[in-house]
Amino acid sequence: MKMLRKVAVAILLASVVAASEEPKVSNFDSAEYIKLSSGGDKKTADRISGTLSFNNDKKAVEFLGKKGLPEFSIKYDSIKSLLYERTSTPRYVAAILVSPFFLFSHSKKHYLTIQYNDDGGTGQFVSIHLDKKNAREIVATAEASTGKKVEREEEK
């Protein structure tokens, strides 16, 4: 009887520990990376459909294109700020990109903008258009994974 009790306690403790561990990788489909032109023309952008991934093994947030290849990978410790916006035009993209798609969009969309320093120490940012169905979960995962508070802003 004592042995059975010890086994039951061990199983219970193991399940509590397993439940408290955060997942190693959290993937969110139906996202679009707004990739600004790397050439001289900063008024164009590509919208790349794919998966936003928080990889706790690599300690990096990645955007995986349709073929599963990373479009970007940002280490958690290089992230300076995270901004969630529910707006027709994301703040950082609007400052650079003038596009009829953004200017005349009447519906509010969900965006996550990540400001970070690249390997050379230069400030950079990426903006991701989120699916409204999992935007809140992405924001919560971003905070939990990176350890940084996500600033929230909503257009009125």
Domains of the chain in sequence order: 23-154 (2.30.29.30)
**What pTM, to 2 d.p., does this model score?**
0.74
CB 34 within 8 Å of CB 128: yes
User: Tokens 């050439």 sit at which residue?
Assistant: 39
pLDDT tens readout for residues 104-154? 455 789 999 999 999 999 999 999 999 999 999 999 999 999 999 999 988
CA distances for 10 relative to 1, 7, 15, 56, angstroms: 14, 5, 9, 27
pLDDT tens per residue across span 27-46: 999 999 998 876 545 567 88
Beta-strand relationship, 123-130 and 150-154: unpaired
